[in-house]
Structure 1
Amino acid sequence: MDTSSFINSFRRFFAIRGQVKTIRSDRGTNFVGACRELGISSNLNYEEIESFLSKQEVCWIFNPPHASHMGGVWERMIGVARRILDSMLLQLPSKLSHEVLITLMAEVTAIVNSRPLTPVSTDPEDPQILTPATLLTQKFASYPVPSGNFDGKDLYKRQWRQVQSLAKVFWDRWRKQYLSTLQVRRKWQSDRLNINTGDLVLLKDQHTKRNEWPMGRVTKTFPDKDGKVRKVEIKIARDGSSTLFFRPVTELILLLQSEDPAP
């Protein structure tokens, strides 16, 4: 994109999300050019934006050149999403229409922003989780998904079914790749901390619906003779009620340890 194209996308972002105070990015030439053309201050040098931003202050922080790793969080999300979209779109039998593409990208945005960040409540009966979508919309409910099964045949049907079929493929692939970033990979010979009572965990359930992340609180552990915990009891709150499940630790991802972990 050139500077003019980026300014248009910048304006679309403001129109949808509202005014912002701080922007972080790498030193793409279109970013630097747009920053200069809009008169936006950079590197914490606040100045008044007169014509373009209605005299509101915006700070644009650039990472150093050749330091993409300093944008670790967003660069990782972009990298995973880009790899999946590249593989998906290159395999399509025909090009997508503009309407299908922008709707698909909106669905992708909802999927990425539904990922869990940190728990809000310590109540095991109501384990509310903070997500990027929560910060943007001020709502804890997940983004609803149309009912029905969508597969490859829907690519040749109505546009809205094309979008849902592609969104389902993206969800299946993105969920697997994102979950792998939450787990620390160690050789089987290495020891790791046991899961303890009170820990908040994410279940690797293959049958979850799109944008749903089954999370629960560990209520009981079952150590083996060697002291290692390989099976736990989990309480999951759904629709105002709670249910107990037994799961192996291989099917769990530890999100947050309890304040009083067992020795």
Structure 2
Amino acid sequence: MTRRTRGGSADSKRWAVIFTCMSTRAVHFELIESMTTDSFINALRRFFAIRGPAKLLRSDRGTNFVGACKELGIDTEDSPVSTYLQGRGCSWIFNPPHSSHMGGAWERLIGVARRILDAMLLQTAHTRLTHEVLSTLMAEVMAIMNARPLVPVSSDPDAPTVLTPAMLLTQKMSTVSAPSGNFQMAELHGKQWKHVQCLANTFWKRWRRDYLSTLQGRRKWTAERPSVQVGDVVLLKDSQAHRNEWPVGLIVNTLPSGDKRIRKVEVKIVRDGTVKVLLRPVSEIVVLLSGES
């Protein structure tokens, strides 16, 4: 990160704390200036001030996490105190040392987001970010991750609506749309807000690709498995989709090949109020909800 000084500019590091809700699967980012207990406690207080207090926290054994737990008087080793805090305030559970794989859902989100951000921000052209640009970028990243689809919920079977973490947080159906315009790498040294939007678009393209690949795992075909069928609610892999938009459709017809395998389907979508039926290969769709469910 770059900060302006009287004689020019100076570089300094920033870190991000990622909070994720195990119920809604929503994420929240807080920037910190150092990996110290004080910085983390401030980030935790900001998180509680914005999202509300939490009853239970889980994390790995980061030194700043353990230090914050001691500083705040949360004793995870004393069972009666832990029970008391859980009933009246907040308790904290640490994973065993060297067991990041036990993080489950939050480690999965951290892994995908971190790989993308590292690839973006470690490039020379992207490293000189001001605190304002970096904090805005992290807010855009948070919005992108919270707009990801979870499960379809709709009273209209012909136009399924997808539940997202953002809906649970804001109680609003619409997501934050990207500003109109074509933001290119040439904008990086121009206006700051364009700089942010260019980086956010880059994150969106990579996040969408990597996240969809986690939903569409392909393993060695050693046994017969149910294929897609009419009535399945699916996500379409549309490379032209705008930021925070996830095209959702309903399979209305399957087209078996000569070997009776289904490799092509017809998907009905609603776009701009118009119903369309698209022909797509099964490799370009991700099943969200089976028609038999």
Same fold by TM-score, threshold 0.5 exceeded? yes
Asked if residue 65 in structure 1 is aligned to residue 97 in structure 2, the reply is yes
Partner of 1:135: 168
Equivalent pair of 1:41/1:47 in contact (CA under 8 Å):
no
Asked if residue 246 in structure 1 is aligned to residue 266 in structure 2, the reply is no
Partner of 1:193: 226
Equivalent pair of 1:202/1:213 in contact (CA under 8 Å):
yes
Equivalent pair of 2:85/2:91 in contact (CA under 8 Å):
no
Give ranges in structure 1 of 5+ residues lacking alignment: 50-54
* Cα RMSD, aligned residues only: 2.2
Choose which of 180, 202, 223 in structure 1 pairs with 2:256: 223
The amino acid across from 2:208 in the alignment is: R
1:97–1:41 distance in 2 versus 1, CA, 3 Å: same
Asked if residue 208 in structure 1 is aligned to residue 241 in structure 2, the reply is yes
Choose which of 20, 26, 45 in structure 2 pairs with 1:11: 45
Which of 181-190 and 222-231 deviates more?
A: 181-190
1:138–1:42 distance in 2 versus 1, CA, 3 Å: farther
CA distance in 2, matches of 1:2, 1:32: 10
CA distance in 2, matches of 1:109, 1:102: 11
CA distance in 2, matches of 1:171, 1:95: 21
1:122–1:230 distance in 2 versus 1, CA, 3 Å: farther
Quote the offset at 1:57 in angstroms.
1.4
Choose which of 159, 183, 187 in structure 2 pairs with 1:126: 159
Give ranges in structure 2 of 5+ residues lacking alignment: 1-34
Quote the offset at 1:100 in angstroms.
0.2
Partner of 1:34: 68
Choose which of 98, 119, 131 in structure 2 pairs with 1:98: 131
Partner of 1:176: 209
Q: How does 1:149-160 map to 2 (within 5 A)?
A: 149-160=182-193
1:19–1:238 distance in 2 versus 1, CA, 3 Å: farther
Quote the offset at 1:190 in angstroms.
6.5
CA distance in 2, matches of 1:8, 1:150: 34
1:124–1:236 distance in 2 versus 1, CA, 3 Å: farther
Quote the offset at 1:120 in angstroms.
1.7
Quote the offset at 1:162 in angstroms.
0.4
Quote the offset at 1:107 in angstroms.
0.5
Choose which of 128, 134, 147 in structure 1 pairs with 2:180: 147
Give the length in aligned residue pairs.
255
CA distance in 1, matches of 2:234, 2:155: 13
The amino acid across from 2:96 in the alignment is: P
Kindly provide the CA deviation profile for residues 184-203 of structure 1, in whole angstroms up to 9, marking residues without a partner as x: 22247875431011111111
Equivalent pair of 2:235/2:248 in contact (CA under 8 Å):
yes
Kindly provide the CA deviation profile for residues 22-55 of structure 1, in whole angstroms up to 9, marking residues without a partner as x: 2221121211221222123648833249xxxxx9
CA distance in 2, matches of 1:21, 1:222: 51
Kindly provide the CA deviation profile for residues 79-115 of structure 1, in whole angstroms up to 9, marking residues without a partner as x: 1111111121121335100100000000011111111
Quote the offset at 1:178 in angstroms.
1.2
CA distance in 2, matches of 1:122, 1:133: 19
1:41–1:244 distance in 2 versus 1, CA, 3 Å: farther
Partner of 1:46: 83
Which of 163-172 and 129-138 deviates more?
A: 129-138
Q: In proportion to residue count, which structure has more strand?
A: 2
